[in-house]
Amino acid sequence: MKSDRTICYCMGVKESAIVKAIRKGAHTLKDVQKATRACTGNQCKELNPKGRCCSADIIAIIKRETGKSSEDKCCCFR
């Protein structure tokens, strides 16, 4: 990984923490949430420069790291 970009701005979770969780067996969005607290802050629109929930980015990282598509959906409650 060339850069360690922030994925979840609400909770300050970096890509490296998500990748580490995936490599330790977190293969769903819910697993990554439990392992890192990413995607649990509900302030995405205010804090994320993309103005949206980070779940799509997390799901993409899961797919990249595992080679498997996810059935997970956006975790925002808004």
Q: Tell if the pTM clears 0.75, that is, is over it.
A: yes
| Distance from C-alpha of 22 to C-alpha of 65, rounded to nearest angstrom | 7
The answer to whether position 71 is within a domain reads no
* CB atoms near residue 18 (< 10 Å): 24
Q: How many CB atoms lie within 10 A of CB 61?
A: 20
Asked whether the beta carbons of 26 and 38 are under 8 A apart, the reply is no
- Sign, CA torsion 22/75/70/67: negative
Mean pLDDT of the chain: 90
Predicted local distance difference test score (pLDDT) of residue 76: 63
pLDDT at residue number 78: 44
Residue 44: which domain range?
Answer: 6-66
pLDDT digits 0-9 by tens, 16-32: 999 999 999 999 999 99
Indicate whether 33 belongs to any domain. Answer: yes
Amino acid letter at 28?
A: T
User: Is there a domain that residue 34 lies in?
Assistant: yes
In a domain, 48, yes or no: yes
The domain that holds 25 is classified in CATH as 1.10.10.1100
Q: How many domains does the chain have?
A: 1
Q: What is the pLDDT of residue 72?
A: 72
Stretches where the chain sits below pLDDT 50 are: 78
